[in-house]
Amino acid sequence: MRRFYSYGPIDTDEHYYVPRKELIENAYTQLIGHNPQKGGHYITVWSPRQCGKTWVMQEVMEKIKQANQYEVGIITMERAKEIKSEKKVLEILIEKLQIAFNRSFPAINNIDELSRLFTSRYFQDPAILILDEFDALEEVFINRFAGIFRDMFISRTNEREKTSREKTCLLHGLALVGVRSVLGIENKSGSPFNVQRSVHIPNLTYDEVKEMFQWYRKESGQEVEEAVVRELFEETRGQPGLTCWFGELLTETYNHDKNNPITMINFKEAYGAATHILPNNNILNLISKVNKPPYDEMIMEFFKTGDKIEFKLNNKFINYLYMNGVIAEEKVDINEYYVKFSCPFVQKCLFDYFSNQVFSHLGLLIHPLDAMEDAIDEQRLNISNIIKRYKAYLQKNREMLFKDVPRRKTDLKIYEAVYHFNLYRYVYDLLKHREVEVIPQFPTGNGKIDLILKYRERVYALELKSFKDMYTHGKAVQQAAEYGRQLGLKEIVLLVFVELNEEEAGELEQEVEKEGVNVVVIPIGLLP
């Protein structure tokens, strides 16, 4: 019986997978060419990490082998990562070429000599090379290799009267895998490799994720509730590595009774473990990428609830975060794209990480003799009275809390996200021993933050906003009412952070009913 697997390229005999036939066929057609007699294309294969690039290209290689017309090899340049010596990089390349094509190649002294290897002296048939982890190389080598590959492609097109087999250079097709971020984006002088076509590896669709779990049902005989598959997809947005990791947790680690269906109870347990106690290389890698300037500062900006940030892949910082799986693009019009987090699970993990980093110590949350009788009883919560305590805590501890927090370099103002981190940590720490579940939610992926509190089978929602002006504030009240309706609630709290003192901010406090939902507006003054 197969298993869900997220630890590298999958084995189709042992693991659940999605065939991705159209994607494989597209890459295959690009490499052999629409008119193979004239030659194939030189392509880049790109996507954020853990989207299955390597497996797709392994499948493409097998399909090419079946055609029995080309010599094809796939090698990875991961071992050459951070190597500064051109000679050493070439030694690794030659070693891997010899293994991939099962023949000897001579040593070469510089990258410009690479074209000598792809001639009739070493190949009887046209060759197709797949260079995986090509972006592991130092940028100077990437550009040098790209330049020589472009030269080889042009030299082949100059011999138009010859078939691919007769050309001087026999490198029929080339795939550089994972290089979108380094060809033409980070190279200040422009890309020398402007002949390549681009193959993008997307996330899995909902139907593809559903297909894998249907396969599991058929093999195991165990049902999986449709709500589980839907929630898994919504949390991961079909990112292959995370999808299969959660598949493993649900069908193995937290599958306590295989005689009964996998339900949302299983999912909640697996999700709780995934966000609190289980290391995941994908998430650990993301954190390592963003836990340094300027990316930590950009994450702070992405968490703001006001204006969206425009998505431009030619911005090297946005490109870096996209290629590392931190962010994705949100299309709102034919020529309008904005930044959003790649999926809710990634956003939640980053929110947890930064909130704990920024506020590792909160101090005394309430007076030791405060029994909180007006805030929580055996049946319900009183959100307004909980927030009253937070406001008092904020005023008392402002200097200690915000002394060393991240600030914008432009005006030295505290990032909006810092206040959200602080509120979340306060409410979470205050109520965690009282059996209240406090869950940050990110319904849009690009700044909108809500806190969902669950207590005694009741749900309470707090929508967080920063005050900009009265017009946008009015829209925020309306949006909060709509969100309350979506949750099936009769009341929702809109917390508004205002850059005024508490007395001035108090003018925004109100309760208003919007189409059957009571919106309680509670302002929080940020100035002393």
Segment 214-232, tens digit of pLDDT: 999 999 999 999 999 999 9
Q: Which two tokens stand for residue 266?
A: 């299983």
Model confidence at 174: pLDDT above 60: yes
458-466 vs 491-501, strand pairing mode: parallel
SS3 400: helix
Model confidence at 282: pLDDT above 60: yes
Model confidence at 52: pLDDT above 60: yes
Can you give the pLDDT at residue 186? 47
Can you give the pLDDT at residue 424? 96
Structure-model confidence comparison of residues 247 and 140, the more confident one: 247
Model confidence at 178: pLDDT above 90: no
For residues 229-268, one letter each, b for 16 or more C-beta atoms within 10 angstroms of the residue's C-beta and e for the rest, the string is: bebbbebbbbbbbbbbbbbbbbbeebbeeeeeebeeebbe
Q: What is the pTM of this model?
A: 0.89
Architecture of domain 21-200: 3-Layer(aba) Sandwich (3.40)
Mean pLDDT of 334-339: 91
SS3 404: coil
Run of H or E residues at 393: helix 383-402
Question: pLDDT, tens digit, for every residue of 231-265?
Answer: 999 999 999 999 999 999 999 999 999 999 999 99
Can you give the pLDDT at residue 396? 93
Amino acid (1-letter code) at residue 288: S
Model confidence at 185: pLDDT above 60: no
Can you give the pLDDT at residue 180? 60
Sheet order of strands, 510-514 included: 437-441, 449-455, 458-466, 491-501, 517-527, 510-514
Model confidence at 416: pLDDT above 70: yes
Tell me what the pLDDT averaged over the chain comes to: 92
Can you give the pLDDT at residue 139? 86
Can you give the pLDDT at residue 194? 55
Lowest mean pLDDT among 13-17, 218-222, 408-412: 408-412
Mean pLDDT of 325-353: 92
Model confidence at 184: pLDDT above 50: no
Res. 196 pLDDT band, cuts 50 70 90? low
Q: Where are the domains of the chain?
A: 21-200, 206-278, 346-527
In this prediction, what percent of the chain has a pLDDT beyond 70?
96
